[in-house]
Amino acid sequence: MPANSPPDSQLASLTGIDRLLHIMERLRDPQTGCPWDIEQSFASIAPYTLEEAHEVADVIERQAWDELKGELGDLLFQSVFHAQMAKEAGLFAFDDVVTAISDKMISRHPHVFGDQSRDKSPEQQTRDWEALKAKERKGARTLDGVAMALPALTRAVKLQNRAARVGFDWPSTDQVLDKLVEETREVVEARDSLGPEELTEEIGDLIFVLANIARHLKVDPEAALRAANAKFTRRFARIEDALAAAGKTPAESNLEEMDALWDLAKAEDKAAKAKG
C-alpha cells in the first residue's frame, strides 16, 4: 500500500476528490493494486477518455439528466487516472492539473477576475477569449494545437474557425454553397473515371465543405449528424415494426415497400412535430 495512503477501512470516511485520488492510488499500487489498472499507460487509457467524453455528450443530447452524474464521474475518473500515471512518472500531480486550469480560467476571464468591463456581448467575449488563446500560442502556426483526436467534423470546424480568424474564409454562405456544387461534381467525376484513393479524397473535400456550410450557418455539424443518425434509427425501427406486424423482416421485403413505409414514418414525424 502507498506510504501516504490511508487504510482501506478509512476510505469510506474520506469525501470529495481526496477519496477518489486515494482510490486511484491504491488501484495503481504495484504490490496490492488491480493488475489491469497497473498495466495501463497514457496511450491505452486515452481511448477510454474519449469514450467517456462522448458518453457525457450523449447523455446531454438525450437530456437523460438522471444519468449525467454518473457519466461526469466516469469522465472525472479519467483525469484522475492520467494524473496518477503522471505522478508516478514524475511529471506532475493532480494538484498541478487543478492549478493549471484555475490559472487559465482566471487569465482568460479578465472581465470577471480583473478590471475589464463585464458589459460585453457573448460574441465579444468569444472574440476576446480567442485573442487570449492566440496570445498564449504566440510563435505557433495558425492551425497548431487543434487536437487530432477530435471527431473529424468537429476538428474541421475548428480548423476553419482558426483560418477564418486570420482572414482565410468565404465572405458569404452563398460562395460556400457554390463550392458544394463544385465538390459534388468532382465526386461524380472521381466515381466515373478515377480510382478509390482519389474518390476518397473527393468525398473528404465534400464533407469538409459541408462542415464549412454548417459553420457559416452557426450549426454544429456534429450535433446535426447525431440528430440525423437518431432520426434514421427511429424511422428504420418503424419500418421494421410495420414489417414485423405483417409477418416479414426487412430481408423479406423490397426497396419499394420499405421506401413507402419510410415516407409514412416521415409523415408521422412531421405531423407529431406540427402538434408541438
pLDDT tens-place string over residues 149-159: 888 999 999 99
**Model pLDDT, residue 127:** 73
Tell me if 175 sits within 8 A of 190, measured CB to CB: no
Domain spans, the chain: 8-107, 140-219, 223-275
62-73 mean pLDDT: 95
Q: Does domain 8-107 have CATH number 3.40.50.11540?
A: no
22-36 mean pLDDT: 94
Q: Which amino acid is at 160?
A: Q
217-227 mean pLDDT: 92
d(CA 150, CA 102): 24
Residue 87 has pLDDT above 90, yes or no: yes
Question: Which value, to the nearest 10 degrees, does the dihedral of the CA atoms of residues 156, 216, 142, 121 take?
Answer: -120
Residue 238 has pLDDT above 90, yes or no: yes
Output helix, strand, coil percentages for the chain, rounded to the nearest 5: 75, 0, 25
**Model pLDDT, residue 142:** 82
75-86 mean pLDDT: 97
CB neighbour list of residue 23: distance below 8 Å, 6 or more residues apart: 11
Tell me if 239 sits within 8 A of 261, measured CB to CB: yes
d(CA 151, CA 148): 8
**What grid cell was written down for 99?**
492549478
Give 104-112 contacts, CB < 8 A, sequence gap 24+. Answer: 107/132, 108/132, 108/133
**Model pLDDT, residue 20:** 94
Superfamily assignment of 140-219 in CATH? MazG-like (1.10.287.1080)
- The residue with greater pLDDT, 56 or 111, is 56
Do 140-219 and 8-107 fall under one CATH topology? yes
